[in-house]
């Protein structure tokens, strides 16, 4: 390929003009590569146009679930949909607008948002300030799916592995519109264990019936059409933030006792604190997890497990240590480690080094880059260096965990490629990798590892 100069990359902003010539060569090759997103969520066309405040609320982990939790149940949703008079009354009673302004005010002062605004301004061809970016964005997103598709195609998305267990109650029709709207990028579904538990936990049935229904639903999600009309390519568990250390449970009688305890106290759950609520069904959840992991093992299918990250205020942060997954990676039975394929999610962030070390030690444990990508923005360079210091290139998976707004896919892809190129350049300049090895490493991380793990064609 012809050697480029920094000015050929003007459209990507001032960042590139200051880079090493070797970087430009590596970046040019990596920028052309396709992307598979190993873990993300769908977006819906419910809210194509947004104010800047709403946009920042929807994309920020510090606001998305915390804002409603500051008010009595249902009040925030009522406020969102209310006319001006009702809003005025609710504001007088709960100070809603004032609280949002405080939270979003801080978020808008983060380097992440300041950088995001500059990046989006380049993509949209507008002034680099938040209001101009939102105006340009809203003009494009009126034609919602064409806008979403333009974002995905700009960074060359080819496959998205979508965890349908978090989709804000999207209907089958909304999911179909997403699947169609993102074409030619292909949607592949992942099934979340908690989807089944949510359906079955409220039912007044015996443990035997519960167990039978759980298994039927699990098999339909995996092999049938149980995941919104289609099969699943893999599974996802959200157990770690609820209980911390996950120890597999094979004993049906312990699970039965846990089911009975859940039945006896089910009506008290709304008044329980979160730790007591999760403790109540802990053994049942461990048993469900174990059954699901057995099915994954049988199919040589990976299990993604939520690790690190936040999602305040419902999750318990101290439970999310990546080392709490060691017993799951081992999956010992009868004195043998059975090595199901485990993908700890979100880079274990902020415990990135522990997640990396777990993947280094256990051959069946992989490393996934989402949440950290894109939220640590420019510092992705250092983080990718930290990951690659111990995790083999064949075990690292690009992912975004994009949710709520489509810009998160784009930002992750854009920054993911750029800072991966920067980290790989460091290894080329340092002599650890030659150019071809660096590009092949990027291919593995950006799409090859995902395709081989999920046996995609
Ligand atoms: Zn997720």
In CATH, what number does 23-48+142-453 get?
A: 3.20.20.140
Q: How far is the CA of 238 from the centre of ligand 1 (A)?
A: 9
- 256 φ/ψ angles, rounded to the nearest 5 degrees: -60, -45
Q: How far is the CA of 422 from the centre of ligand 1 (A)?
A: 26
pLDDT at residue 352 tops 70: yes
Nearest Cα residue to 371 out of 48, 59, 35: 59
Q: How far is the CA of 248 from the centre of ligand 1 (A)?
A: 23
Which of 156-165, 166-175, 346-355 shows the lowest per-residue confidence on average (mean pLDDT)?
Answer: 166-175
Share of the chain above pLDDT 70, in %: 96
Q: How far is the CA of 374 from the centre of ligand 1 (A)?
A: 13
Share of the chain above pLDDT 90, in %: 85
Q: For all residues of the chain together, what is the average pLDDT?
A: 94
What residues have their beta carbon closer than 5 A to ion ligand 1? Answer: 401
In degrees, to the nearest 5, what angle opens at C-alpha 399 toward C-alphas 396 and 403?
160
Q: How far is the CA of 408 from the centre of ligand 1 (A)?
A: 12
pLDDT tens column, 364-413: 999 999 999 999 999 999 999 999 999 999 999 999 999 999 999 999 99
Q: How far is the CA of 263 from the centre of ligand 1 (A)?
A: 29
d(CA 214, CA 242): 20
Q: How far is the CA of 371 from the centre of ligand 1 (A)?
A: 8
What pLDDT, on a 0 to 100 scale, did the predictor assign at position 100? Answer: 87
pLDDT at residue 10 tops 70: no
The backbone region for 339, taken as left when phi is positive above 0, alpha when psi lies in -120 to 50, beta otherwise, is: left
Is this structure's pTM higher than 0.85? Answer: yes
What pLDDT, on a 0 to 100 scale, did the predictor assign at position 345? Answer: 97
Q: How far is the CA of 264 from the centre of ligand 1 (A)?
A: 32
What pLDDT, on a 0 to 100 scale, did the predictor assign at position 4? Answer: 57
What pLDDT, on a 0 to 100 scale, did the predictor assign at position 1? Answer: 45
Which of 49-63, 373-387, 428-442 shows the lowest per-residue confidence on average (mean pLDDT)?
Answer: 49-63
d(CA 49, CA 290): 43
Q: How far is the CA of 289 from the centre of ligand 1 (A)?
A: 18
Q: How far is the CA of 208 from the centre of ligand 1 (A)?
A: 31
Q: How far is the CA of 220 from the centre of ligand 1 (A)?
A: 22
Q: How far is the CA of 39 from the centre of ligand 1 (A)?
A: 6
What pLDDT, on a 0 to 100 scale, did the predictor assign at position 9? Answer: 64
d(CA 320, CA 345): 11
Q: How far is the CA of 180 from the centre of ligand 1 (A)?
A: 21
What are the residue boundaries of the structural domains of the chain, listed by start? 23-48+142-453, 66-108
Q: How far is the CA of 126 from the centre of ligand 1 (A)?
A: 31
pLDDT tens column, 71-112: 898 999 999 889 999 999 999 999 998 888 888 999 999 999
Q: How far is the CA of 58 from the centre of ligand 1 (A)?
A: 14
Q: How far is the CA of 84 from the centre of ligand 1 (A)?
A: 35
Looking at residues 250-260, what average pLDDT do you find? 98
Q: At what angle do helices 435-443 and 21-31 cross, to 10 degrees?
A: 30
d(CA 115, CA 182): 26
d(CA 30, CA 20): 15
pLDDT at residue 421 tops 90: yes
Of all helices (H) and strands (E), which one includes residue 304?
Answer: strand 303-305
Q: How far is the CA of 62 from the centre of ligand 1 (A)?
A: 15
Q: How far is the CA of 40 from the centre of ligand 1 (A)?
A: 5
What pLDDT, on a 0 to 100 scale, did the predictor assign at position 151? Answer: 98
Q: How far is the CA of 125 from the centre of ligand 1 (A)?
A: 30
pLDDT tens column, 279-337: 999 999 999 999 999 999 999 999 999 999 777 777 889 999 999 999 999 999 999 99
Which DSSP string do the residues of 165-200 spell out, in sequence order?
T-STT--HHHHHHHHHHTTTSEEEEEEEHHHHHHHH
Alpha helices in 41-143 (DSSP H): 52-59, 66-69, 75-81, 84-94, 96-108, 111-124, 130-141
Looking from the CA of 112 toward its CB, the CA atoms found within 13 Å total 21
């Amino acid at each position: 390929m012809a050697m480029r100069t920094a000015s050929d990359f003007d459209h990507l902003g001032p960042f590139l003009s200051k880079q090493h010539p070797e970087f430009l060569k590596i970046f040019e090759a990596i920028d052309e590569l396709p992307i598979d997103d190993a873990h993300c969520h769908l977006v819906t066309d419910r809210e194509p146009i947004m104010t800047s405040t709403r946009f920042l609320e929807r994309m920020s982990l510090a606001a998305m679930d915390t804002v409603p939790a500051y008010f009595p149940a249902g009040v925030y949703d009522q406020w969102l949909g209310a006319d001006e008079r009702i809003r005025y009354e609710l504001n007088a009673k709960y100070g809603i607008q004032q609280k949002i302004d405080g939270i979003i005010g801080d978020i808008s002062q983060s380097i992440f948002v300041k950088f995001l605004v500059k990046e989006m301004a380049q993509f949209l061809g507008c002034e680099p300030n938040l209001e101009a970016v939102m105006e340009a964005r809203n003009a494009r997103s009126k034609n919602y799916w064409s806008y979403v598709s333009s974002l995905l195609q700009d960074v060359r998305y080819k496959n998205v592995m979508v965890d349908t267990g978090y989709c804000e109650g999207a209907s089958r029709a909304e999911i179909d519109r997403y699947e169609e709207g993102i074409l030619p990028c292909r949607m592949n579904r992942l099934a979340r264990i908690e989807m089944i538990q949510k359906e079955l936990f409220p039912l007044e049935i015996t443990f035997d019936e519960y167990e039978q229904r759980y298994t039927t639903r699990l098999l339909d999600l995996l092999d049938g059409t149980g995941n919104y009309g289609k099969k699943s390519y893999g599974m996802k568990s959200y157990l770690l933030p609820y209980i911390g250390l996950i120890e597999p449970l094979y004993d049906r009688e312990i699970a039965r006792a846990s089911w009975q305890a859940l039945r006896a106290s089910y009506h008290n759950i709304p008044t329980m604190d979160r730790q007591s609520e999760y403790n109540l069904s802990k053994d049942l959840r461990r048993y469900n997890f174990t059954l699901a992991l057995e099915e994954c093992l049988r199919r040589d299918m990976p299990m993604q497990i939520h690790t690190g990250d936040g999602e305040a205020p419902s999750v318990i942060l101290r439970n999310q240590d990546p080392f709490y997954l060691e017993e799951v990676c081992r999956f010992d039975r009868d004195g043998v480690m059975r090595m199901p394929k485990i993908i700890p999610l979100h880079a274990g962030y902020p415990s990135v080094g522990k997640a990396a070390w777990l993947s280094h030690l256990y051959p069946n444990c992989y490393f996934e880059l989402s949440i950290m990508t894109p939220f640590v923005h420019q510092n992705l360079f250092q983080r990718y260096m930290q990951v690659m210091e111990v995790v083999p290139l064949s075990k690292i998976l690009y992912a975004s965990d994009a949710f709520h707004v489509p810009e998160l896919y784009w930002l992750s892809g854009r920054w993911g490629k750029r800072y991966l190129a920067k980290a790989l350049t460091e290894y080329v300049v340092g002599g650890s990798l030659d150019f071809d090895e660096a590009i092949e490493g990027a291919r593995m991380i950006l799409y090859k590892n995902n395709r081989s793990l999920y046996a995609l064609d």
